[in-house]
Amino acid sequence: MNQKLLQSWLTLQCQAMPGARSACARIGSAQVEPGLFVASWPGGETIAAELSDLLELADRSNAPVTSAPVESMQSPPPVLRIAHPINNNGKKLGAIAVELTQVPRDQHAAVVRLIEWGNTWLDLLYRQECNDTGNDSQVTEAIRRILHADSLQQAGMALTCYLAHHYGCERVSLGLRKGTGVRLLALSDSTQIPARSGLSRHLAAAMSEALAENQSLDWPAREPRSIPAHLALAEAEQNTRILTFVLRNAGEAFAALTFESQNSALTDNAVQKQIDELTRFLGPLLALKQAVEKPLQSRFQRKSGGDAHLVRQRTSRIKALVVAALSAFGVYLLSGQTPYRVPGPAQIEGAVQRALIAPFDGYIAATYARAGETVEAGSVMAELEDKELKLELRQLRGDRTELEKQYRKALAGLDHAEARILQAQIAQAEARIDLLRQTLDRTQLRAPFSGVVVSGDLSRSLGKPVKRGEVLMEVAPLDSYRVAVEIEGQDISSVAAGQSGSLILAARPAQVLDLEVINITSMPTEGTSAGSFRVEARLIGDIGSLRPGMRGVAKIETGERSRFWIWTHQISDWLDYRLWAWLP
């Protein structure tokens, strides 16, 4: 035992306990000399007087000691201090004290059990120091490499590399029990484990063989037929010697360590005995390292048999509740009938929608309304350029005046034939003037009725050329709406005119609107892959706050059905259709 090893063990012990704030440990010599080795965590900090006193009390009483102040709403989070003795076959070696924060009162006993579990491998290490000093350097070096690793994966890699180089093996592999199989954790001199390769399968099979027999296996010391997995590994890798040792923690085999050699490195019985003694210390240490990476609740439940029993009871209760819930749900589906409502996306449209189109080819001069605004009947919404029309009108008026002068002159000269020709030309000019006046009147686009502009924004298109017949704006009234609902093809047969339903709009999710079906299109809507049909409905009730273009979801009531049929009819209809299509 040395100071550095004690410090590393204390650091790992504190990392395994969430909420640990500080800790200290003291180990005596074989003559129980107090204070020979003292470690503190975090390193470099002085030990608090309260924690030191608690350590002395646990050392003197040789029993666990807990100090937890009364919780208060105004005070900071309560601090839990626990001290526990370290014994060897009833002989006192020293004590450890830990200070934790934010630990519920019902988990205090679990923290004590976690400290006891971490002390087991330290106890084993002390016994090895007292009984066998020849293997002390190997044990110390292996434990040092595990303690200085940041994770279980790195600890396995460091351990296997050290053992392979120290004993001159071709490869050392470490695997953890996982269900009925083995998960390879590390291979010596390899940063990655080849997944689904022949080597990984042979190694996992050899380790599973040793774990199944719950004992270490040596090839070729035994009959090859009794250990077929080791025989297959030896033939595949051309090994001379294979040793697989089982790692245990608290008497339970949880991992396996396989040594492979293509020379006589593992044939010495003393070497085999030395490795066997080393694995007795590696089991508890690797188990503690594995526990650090698992949730605190899992570590407590695995250590405490009572907690595992509670977990089994809780699991049984959950299963019973699930079965009861499924049974109740089945009874609910099979009992009684409920209204069946066919859903579909819906959009509000104006019952009458008028389009304002360009009366002639021209240019946009001004705009006074855009989509979303309300307009009054007869109000000007936009204007087109009229300069060319006015110039043409002025020219026609001048031509008419000239023709009137020539007409009067022909009458004065009694040229009746010329007078009749000029009279016709004057009538033609007046007709063209009347047409231009009407065209000038149509340069102002006026609202046909009071309503809301549902489409068209010309504010960014001033000066843009337009063609005759081009739609510039659309207006819908504010007092007359209809709802367009898209119903899937498999449900359209259930919908009929006169059925009632309800509508919820995305803009007003808390308001439910009533509706009534008035029309069903006989052809599916274009552009829908599922063959949806358009169903038109009228709104019932107050519609003053609605606007065309609002979208939502409508549900049409088509009669009463059983709950089981409502939940399963889509699947049964699909199966019937597919079976009919597949069968000859």
Is 322 inside any structural domain? no
Among residues 299, 277, 340, 302, the alpha carbon closest in space to that of 129 is found at: 277
Considering the domain architecture, whether residues 298 and 360 belong to the same structural domain is answered as no
Report residue 152: phi and psi, to 5°: -65, -35
pLDDT in tens, 278-313: 888 788 778 877 776 665 445 445 444 444 556 677
| Contact partners, residue 97, CB within 8 Å, separation at least 6 | 23, 24, 25, 51, 52, 54, 55, 58, 81, 82, 83, 84
Tokens in use for 93?
């070696």
Q: How many CB atoms lie within 10 A of CB 559?
A: 11
CATH of the domain at 392: 2.40.50.100
Burial class (CB in 10 A: 0-12, 13-18, 19+), 367: buried
Is 323 inside any structural domain? no
Is 215 inside any structural domain? yes
Is 88 inside any structural domain? yes
Considering the domain architecture, whether residues 196 and 267 belong to the same structural domain is answered as yes
Place of tokens 């063989």: 209
Q: How many CB atoms lie within 10 A of CB 562?
A: 16
- Please report the pLDDT score of residue 256 as a whole number: 92
Q: List the domain range (segments joined by +) for residue 525.
A: 480-582
Strands (E), 57-122: 65-67, 79-88, 91-101
CA angle 350, 501, 338 (to 5 degrees): 165
Low-confidence ranges of the chain (pLDDT < 50): 29-35, 72-74, 133-134, 296-297, 299-300, 302-307, 529
Considering the domain architecture, whether residues 143 and 290 belong to the same structural domain is answered as yes
Considering the domain architecture, whether residues 226 and 140 belong to the same structural domain is answered as yes
Of the candidates 285, 303, 321, which is a domain's last residue?
303
Query: 417: number of CA atoms within 13 Å, CB side?
Result: 0
Report how far apart, in Å, the C-alpha atoms of 490 and of each of 15, 323, 580 are.
Answer: 62, 34, 16
Q: Report pTM.
A: 0.41
Dihedral class, residue 189 (left if φ above 0, else alpha if ψ from -120 to 50, else beta): left
Place of tokens 């666990």: 64
CATH of the domain at 286: 3.30.450.40
Considering the domain architecture, whether residues 119 and 249 belong to the same structural domain is answered as no
- Please report the pLDDT score of residue 300 as a whole number: 46
Asked whether the beta carbons of 493 and 547 are under 8 A apart, the reply is no
Considering the domain architecture, whether residues 176 and 49 belong to the same structural domain is answered as no
Secondary structure (H, E, C), 16-30? CCCCEEEEEEEECCC
Considering the domain architecture, whether residues 490 and 413 belong to the same structural domain is answered as no
Among residues 474, 523, 520, 473, the alpha carbon closest in space to that of 499 is found at: 520
Indicate the DSSP class of residue 370: B
Asked whether the beta carbons of 184 and 206 are under 8 A apart, the reply is no
| Residue 183 three-state SS | strand
| Helix, strand, coil distribution of the chain in percent, nearest 5 | 40, 30, 30
Considering the domain architecture, whether residues 489 and 448 belong to the same structural domain is answered as no
Considering the domain architecture, whether residues 456 and 360 belong to the same structural domain is answered as yes
The CA dihedral of 207, 211, 216, 222, to the nearest 10 degrees, is: -80
Considering the domain architecture, whether residues 10 and 90 belong to the same structural domain is answered as yes
Tokens in use for 500?
């009632």
| Residue 452 three-state SS | strand
Of the candidates 271, 303, 335, which is a domain's last residue?
303
Among residues 455, 192, 191, the alpha carbon closest in space to that of 349 is found at: 455
Is 337 inside any structural domain? no
Of the candidates 131, 162, 177, which is a domain's last residue?
131
Report how far apart, in Å, the C-alpha atoms of 209 and of each of 238, 242, 355, 383 are.
Answer: 19, 13, 84, 93
Asked whether the beta carbons of 240 and 260 are under 8 A apart, the reply is no
* Residue 257 host element (H or E): strand 252-261
Is 442 inside any structural domain? yes
> For residue 78, is the peptide bond before it cis, meaning its omega torsion is within 30 degrees of 0?
no
> For residue 42, is the peptide bond before it cis, meaning its omega torsion is within 30 degrees of 0?
yes
Considering the domain architecture, whether residues 41 and 152 belong to the same structural domain is answered as no
The structural domain count of the chain equals: 4
| Residue 559 three-state SS | strand
Asked whether the beta carbons of 486 and 502 are under 8 A apart, the reply is no
Considering the domain architecture, whether residues 468 and 486 belong to the same structural domain is answered as no
Is 325 inside any structural domain? no
The CA dihedral of 334, 336, 342, 348, to the nearest 10 degrees, is: -140
Q: How far apart are CA 352 and CA 333, in angstroms?
A: 44
Q: How many CB atoms lie within 10 A of CB 328?
A: 10
Is 501 inside any structural domain? yes
| Residue 64 three-state SS | coil
CATH of the domain at 562: 2.40.30.170
Report how far apart, in Å, the C-alpha atoms of 547 and of each of 372, 540, 541, 544 are.
Answer: 8, 15, 15, 8
Report how far apart, in Å, the C-alpha atoms of 528 and of each of 347, 489, 534, 552 are.
Answer: 16, 11, 11, 18
Place of tokens 């940041």: 150
Q: How far apart are CA 445 and CA 248, in angstroms?
A: 93
pLDDT in tens, 37-95: 788 888 766 778 888 888 888 888 888 888 765 554 445 556 888 888 887 666 777 88
Q: Do β-strands 241-249 and 217-219 pair in parallel, antiparallel, or remain unpaired? A: antiparallel
Q: How far apart are CA 2 and CA 422, in angstroms?
A: 133
Q: How far apart are CA 406 and CA 423, in angstroms?
A: 9
